[in-house]
């Protein structure tokens, strides 16, 4: 059933995650890039359809938010499922981007400039 652009899922998210609300990895963000590990292993028979869909959709490199959008699932749910697949070795994080934060001196200069403005 679909209403106002949102899918009505007959199974609640907490059922799909085994009651967990947070991923095992705190580093997963919506922009985290993911890619399926191609080592010939198949998901176990106990894996659900959402895990299978995530792995199939992530054959190329995609951001966590993109996976959620393609599968019409909440990002928070996808983050929990993705962290399980990473822990099991089926998905790999491909985002090697690090953000260099500006130094304290630069931040103080900007703040001083804003105060003068």
Residue-wise pLDDT tens digits, 25-69: 677 888 889 988 888 888 888 788 888 888 888 888 889 999 989
* Owning domain of residue 39: 2-116
- Max intra-chain CA distance, the chain: 64
* CA 13/CA 5 separation, integer angstroms: 18
Q: Across-strand partners of 34?
A: 62, 93
pLDDT digits (tens, 9 = 90+) for 64-101: 999 989 988 888 888 888 888 888 889 888 865 555 67
Q: Please answer whether residues 16 and 50 qualify as being in contact, where contact means their C-beta atoms are separated by less than 8 angstroms.
A: yes
Q: What is the pTM of this model?
A: 0.61
- 2 — pLDDT class (breaks 50, 70, 90): very low
Query: Do residues 35 and 91 make contact, with C-beta atoms less than 8 angstroms apart?
Result: yes
How many domains is the chain built from? 1
């Amino acid at each position: 059933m679909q209403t106002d652009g949102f899918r009505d899922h007959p199974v609640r998210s907490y059922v799909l995650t085994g009651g967990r609300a947070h991923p095992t990895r705190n580093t997963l963000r919506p922009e985290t890039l993911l890619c399926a590990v191609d080592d010939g292993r198949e998901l176990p028979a106990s894996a659900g359809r959402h895990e299978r869909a995530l792995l199939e959709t992530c054959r190329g490199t995609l951001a966590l938010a993109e996976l959620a959008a393609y599968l019409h699932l909440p990002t928070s749910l996808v983050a929990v499922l993705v962290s399980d697949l990473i822990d099991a070795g089926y998905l790999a994080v491909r985002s090697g981007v690090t953000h260099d934060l500006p130094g304290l001196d630069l931040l103080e200069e900007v703040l001083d400039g804003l105060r003068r403005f």
